[in-house]
C-alpha cells in the first residue's frame, strides 16, 4: 500500500510517496504552475504519479492557523482535495501541516544547502514531513 503526500501551495505542489510498507516517506518532486488557478496540468501529473506508484490514498497537508482555525488557504486546499478525489477516485486525508515549512527550512539549513537549492525543494521536503507525520500517527495509533 503506497500513500502519496502533498503540500499544496499557491503555485507549487510538493510531492512525496511512502514505501510499500507505509513506514517511510520519500520526496518525489515539486509540481510548478504559472498561475494559482491553473490546475489541469497539476492534477494530470498527480494522476500519473498515482498510477506509476500504485497509490491507494492521498494525504494532503491542511494549513491551519496556530489557534487551530482555518482561513482562506485551508478552504482552497479543501477545494483542491475535492478535485483530487474526483480525478483519482482515491480518498484524500487531511494532515495538519502547521510548521512543516519551518521544519523543512530548518532541516535544509542543518544540511548546509545553498539558498538556491533550498528554494527549489522546500515544498518537496514539506510534503515528506506531512506524509511522515501521517505515517507515524497511524503506526502509533495502531500500537495502542
Domains and CATH numbers, the chain: 2-143 (3.30.420.140)
Task: Give the pLDDT confidence of 22-36 residue by residue, as tens digits.
Answer: 999 999 999 999 887
Q: What percent of the chain has pLDDT over 90?
A: 59
Range 17-35 burial, b when 16+ CB lie within 10 A, else e: bbeeebeebebbbbbebee
Q: What percent of the chain has pLDDT over 70?
A: 82
Confidence at residue 144, expressed as pLDDT on a 0 to 100 scale:
39
Q: Give this prediction's pTM.
A: 0.85
pLDDT at 6 exceeding the cut of 70: yes
Confidence at residue 82, expressed as pLDDT on a 0 to 100 scale:
97
Q: How confident is the model at residue 91 (pLDDT cuts 50, 70, 90)?
A: very high
Amino acid at each position: 500500500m503506497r500513500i502519496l503526500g502533498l503540500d499544496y501551495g499557491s503555485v507549487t505542489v510538493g510531492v512525496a510517496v511512502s514505501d510499500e510498507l507505509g513506514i517511510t516517506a520519500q520526496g518525489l518532486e515539486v509540481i510548478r504552475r504559472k498561475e494559482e488557478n491553473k490546475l489541469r496540468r497539476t492534477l494530470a501529473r498527480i494522476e500519473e504519479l498515482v498510477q506509476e506508484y500504485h497509490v491507494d490514498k492521498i494525504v494532503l497537508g491542511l494549513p491551519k492557523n496556530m489557534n487551530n482555525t482555518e482561513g482562506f488557504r485551508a478552504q482552497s486546499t479543501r477545494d483542491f482535495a475535492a478535485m483530487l478525489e474526483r480525478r483519482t477516485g482515491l480518498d484524500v486525508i487531511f494532515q495538519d501541516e502547521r510548521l512543516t515549512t519551518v521544519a523543512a527550512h530548518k532541516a535544509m539549513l542543518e544540511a548546509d544547502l545553498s539558498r538556491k537549492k533550498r528554494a527549489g525543494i522546500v515544498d518537496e521536503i514539506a510534503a515528506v514531513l506531512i506524509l511522515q507525520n501521517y505515517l507515524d500517527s497511524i503506526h502509533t495509533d495502531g500500537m495502542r
